[in-house]
Amino acid sequence: MAEKVNMMNLSTQSNPTQSLHDEAHELRKEILEVLYQTGGGHYGGCLSVIDLLLTLYRTQIKCNPTFATHPDRDRLILSKGHAALALYAVLKKLNFHQVPLDQYADFDSPLEGHPDMTALAGIDFSTGSLGQGLSAALGMAYSLPKQVNIWTILGDGECQEGQVWEAAMLAGNMKTSNLKAVVDNNRFQEWGWAEIDDQIPPPVSNFRDKWQAFGWHVIECDGHNFDELIQAFQTMVEIQDKPVVLIANTIKGKGVPLIEKSPKQFHCNQVDQDEHTRIMQEYRS
Amino acid sequence: MKKLAEEVGLQLTNIADKYPDISVLDGDLADSDGAFYFADAYPERFLMSGISEQNMISMAAGMASTGKRPFAFSFAAFLCYRAYDQIRVSICQTKMPVTLVGSHAGGLAGRNGKTHTAVNDMAVMLTLPDMQVWAPADNDDVTYMLSQIMSYSEPAYIRASRAPIGEQHALGGRPSELRWVFPKRKINIVSCGIASQWSKQVIEQLHLQGCDIGLLHCLHVNQVEQLQDELADSEQLIVIEDHCKLGGLASLIQMLDIKAHISGFGWPISFCGKSGDDEQLREAYGLSQEQLVKAIIKLHFTNIKSASSKIVEQV
């Protein structure tokens, strides 16, 4: 399909004044405050995915907040749309929008409960009904020049959706090399399977093998180690013969021990003032 | 003669040079749903996306977000039901200009039987935001419909029946969103899709018996305001549709602010599809030409009941 790419005005949105670590710390704090102020939400998934989102935008995704719909920009689809607040926080930090985050999911707010491309600049595709983001990303990757990378972040629980594997199979068959998938592999879902022999089974068994069997190049790294993430994303971009998936091993609720210890409770939760105070104390310490 | 979806595939191929953004996806039914014309002529713009309608629909939406105009072909049942959430979320909520071409729409799926019928496809598609539902009845409709679809940027669903249609099936008159095939009268039949072919035949019989009755064919079913205007002064409306009686054209017309009494002929809610020839199926559910003529005379032309019995005898 189209082959000419106009890179003018497109670049990664690096931040020379702040480290990824400090920036992620700031965004996590903002997410925790906003979730408390707005009546709760997806603590666990927002905190597990934020390092992935931030690192991608700061080091790989070529875009421009001033030209948010530039046709040759890289795309990012947050297929696990329930972590919308994390995406909104990153996009705000990148100046895609200036909507106060405490308007999250309010009536008539562009910060819809799940990402809405018709409501907010910088959202490359609407998500929320799990399993559809990889397919939409595949459609984009198929249509756009190979130099344009299409990134999508899935949840590991989301990968129980059959549609994910429909897309994975076709992408593998077509060797769609500009399709880059990242799995926020926090190993928990909302309710999850019952324990077997005192072990909670992962959302998808033999996960790495499955992606490989579908014709994908598979990389794995610590999803909260910025050096590893930077290296992994760079490797993903350099792979040009087939689609590539990064299994980013993350911690649900990363950064707050109270939340990390109760991933099921904090998949989507509302906290009272005392709990919020404790969360913020733990976060600062 | 060709199935209507085949005519869509052929005419889409004929306009593809004019619209270089048109792409076609198909769920491995290209030889049955008409996509093969495009696949043969434009292989670089055709994607056999596998027997995976959910992925195909979201993928088409992703393509549309980059400026393409994807047409996704399959049987209506597999688009509307298997991929409904993908149509709802990836296409309608995003307002992506993806066109769904559903072949074998309605209750007549031949020997395929119940799994391949789509008797409430309009019900599920008309209730999606911004989804434009088109129900062509002849080849002229297909030409007009494709030009209209390409002139705007909205989600669209084409419900195409399996019945073969040829030049001899031209309804007559000028194709439009709504077309008076027989001039408006106090009593009018309203129909869409293949049922407009049925309706035309029914009215030809009725006219022979002196029954004065008009026929409005609805190609673009969503045209509620136009329907309101066209039907405002009717006294009796008879809706004939190859669709479940609930949720289709009759239900849409019942929403209008009009004074006319409305009676509807379609598949009963309990009908989940069945193998068989078109005529066998229609007769089994009171939708054959003779049954419709008789029923309409009984309902609306009581003064010529004797003529009714004559018609039945003739048939």
**Which of A124, A132, A143 minimises the CB distance to B86?**
A132
Averaged pLDDT score across all residues of chain A:
96
Domain-ending residue, one of B165, B196, B219:
B165
Whether A4 maps to a domain, the answer reads no
Tell me which of B305 and B197 has the higher pLDDT: B197
What sign has the CA pseudo-torsion A209, A212, A218, A224? Answer: negative
Distance set, CA B61 to CA A188, A209, B28, B93, B126 (Å): 29, 29, 18, 11, 19
Whether A15 maps to a domain, the answer reads no
Give yes or no: residues B160 and B185 share one domain.
Answer: no
Give yes or no: residues B145 and B195 share one domain.
Answer: no
Whether A91 maps to a domain, the answer reads yes
- C-beta atoms surrounding A192 within 10 Å: 16
Whether A137 maps to a domain, the answer reads yes
Contact: B58, A167; criterion CB under 8 Å: yes
Whether A194 maps to a domain, the answer reads yes
Give pLDDT, residue B315: 31
Best of A116, A117, A127, A143 to substitute, by most chain B Cβ atoms within 10 angstroms, is: A143
Whether the per-residue pLDDT at A1 is higher than 50: the answer is no
- Beta carbons within 8 Å of B2's beta carbon, 6+ residues apart: B10, B34, B164, B165, B166
Domain-ending residue, one of B146, B165, B184:
B165
- pLDDT digit string (tens) for B102-118? 999 999 999 999 999 99
pLDDT class for A248, splitting at 50, 70, 90?
very high
Contact: A139, B60; criterion CB under 8 Å: yes
Whether B56 maps to a domain, the answer reads yes
Give yes or no: residues B158 and B185 share one domain.
Answer: no
The residue-averaged pLDDT of A65-92 equals: 97
CATH code at position A130: 3.40.50.970
Residue B233 distance to chain A (closest CA, Å):
40
CB-CB neighbors (< 8 A) of B56 in chain A: 135
Best of B44, B65, B82 to substitute, by most chain A Cβ atoms within 10 angstroms, is: B65
Averaged pLDDT score across all residues of chain B:
95
**3-state secondary structure (DSSP) of residue B262:** strand
**Which of B52, B90, B94 minimises the CB distance to A170?**
B52
The B-side interface with A (CB below 8 A) comprises: 23, 44, 47, 49-50, 52, 54-68, 70, 85-86, 88-90, 93-95
With a pLDDT cut of 90, the percent of chain B lying above it is 95
CATH code at position B91: 3.40.50.970
Residue-wise over A56-76: b if at least 16 C-beta within 10 A, else e? bbbbbbbbbeeebebebbbbb
CATH code at position B219: 3.40.50.920
SS3 content of chain B, % helix, strand, coil (to 5): 45, 20, 35
Closest residue in B to A124 (Cα) is B65
**Which of A131, A143, A169 minimises the CB distance to B63?**
A143
CB-CB neighbors (< 8 A) of B85 in chain A: 129, 132
Long-range contacts of A7-11 (CB under 8 A, 24+ apart): A7/A62, A7/A72, A9/A64, A9/A66, A9/A67, A9/A70, A10/A62, A10/A63, A10/A64, A10/A67, A10/A70, A10/A72, A10/A73, A10/A74, A11/A62, A11/A63, A11/A64
Give yes or no: residues B139 and B72 share one domain.
Answer: yes
- pLDDT digit string (tens) for B36-78? 999 999 999 999 999 999 999 999 999 999 999 999 999 999 9
Contact A242, A175 (CB under 8 A): yes
| Among A101, A96, A154, CA closest to A120 | A96
For B41, the domain range is 2-165
- pLDDT digit string (tens) for A160-193? 999 999 999 999 999 999 999 999 999 999 999 9
Whether the per-residue pLDDT at B312 is higher than 70: the answer is no
Residue with tokens 């104390």: A281
- Beta carbons within 8 Å of B33's beta carbon, 6+ residues apart: B5, B6, B9, B26, B73, B74, B75, B101, B103, B104
Contact: A167, B94; criterion CB under 8 Å: no
**Which of B50, B85, B90 minimises the CB distance to A170?**
B50
Contact: B54, A166; criterion CB under 8 Å: yes
Whether A32 maps to a domain, the answer reads yes
Tell me which of A4 and A281 has the higher pLDDT: A281
Closest residue in B to A170 (Cα) is B49
Q: How many structural domains are present in chain B?
A: 2
Whether B171 maps to a domain, the answer reads no
Residue with tokens 């990664």: A12
Give pLDDT, residue B309: 38
Give pLDDT, residue A2: 45
Best of A4, A148, A166, A169 to substitute, by most chain B Cβ atoms within 10 angstroms, is: A166
Give yes or no: residues B238 and B272 share one domain.
Answer: yes
Give yes or no: residues B97 and B136 share one domain.
Answer: yes
The residue-averaged pLDDT of A26-30 equals: 98
A113 in B contact zone (CB under 8 Å): no
Helix (H) / strand (E) element for B62: namely helix B53-65
Residue B106's φ and ψ, nearest 5 degrees, are 95, -165
Whether the per-residue pLDDT at A12 is higher than 90: the answer is yes
Residue B64 distance to chain A (closest CA, Å):
8
pLDDT class for B303, splitting at 50, 70, 90?
low
Whether A3 maps to a domain, the answer reads no
What are the beta bridge partners of residue B47? B25
Whether B68 maps to a domain, the answer reads yes
A178 in B contact zone (CB under 8 Å): no
Give yes or no: residues B158 and B180 share one domain.
Answer: no
Whether B136 maps to a domain, the answer reads yes
A126 in B contact zone (CB under 8 Å): yes
Give yes or no: residues B240 and B141 share one domain.
Answer: no
The residue-averaged pLDDT of B197-204 equals: 98
Residue B234's φ and ψ, nearest 5 degrees, are -75, 150
Whether A156 maps to a domain, the answer reads yes
Give yes or no: residues B213 and B273 share one domain.
Answer: yes
Domain-ending residue, one of B111, B136, B165:
B165
Cα-based torsion angle of the residue sequence A54, A59, A61, A65 in order, rounded to the nearest 10 degrees: 70
- pLDDT digit string (tens) for B229-245? 999 999 999 999 999 99
**Which of B56, B62, B88 minimises the CB distance to A137?**
B62
Q: How many structural domains are present in chain A?
A: 1
Distance set, CA B189 to CA A17, B5, B120, B206, B242 (Å): 72, 25, 20, 11, 14
For A49, the domain range is 21-284
- C-beta atoms surrounding B20 within 10 Å: 13
- pLDDT digit string (tens) for A85-102? 999 999 999 999 999 999
Give yes or no: residues B12 and B63 share one domain.
Answer: yes
Whether the per-residue pLDDT at A4 is higher than 90: the answer is no
Retrieve residue B166's tokens: 């040829």
A181 in B contact zone (CB under 8 Å): no
**Which of A139, A143, A144 minimises the CB distance to B58?**
A139
**3-state secondary structure (DSSP) of residue A11:** strand
Contact: A170, B49; criterion CB under 8 Å: yes
Residue A77 distance to chain B (closest CA, Å):
10
Whether B170 maps to a domain, the answer reads no
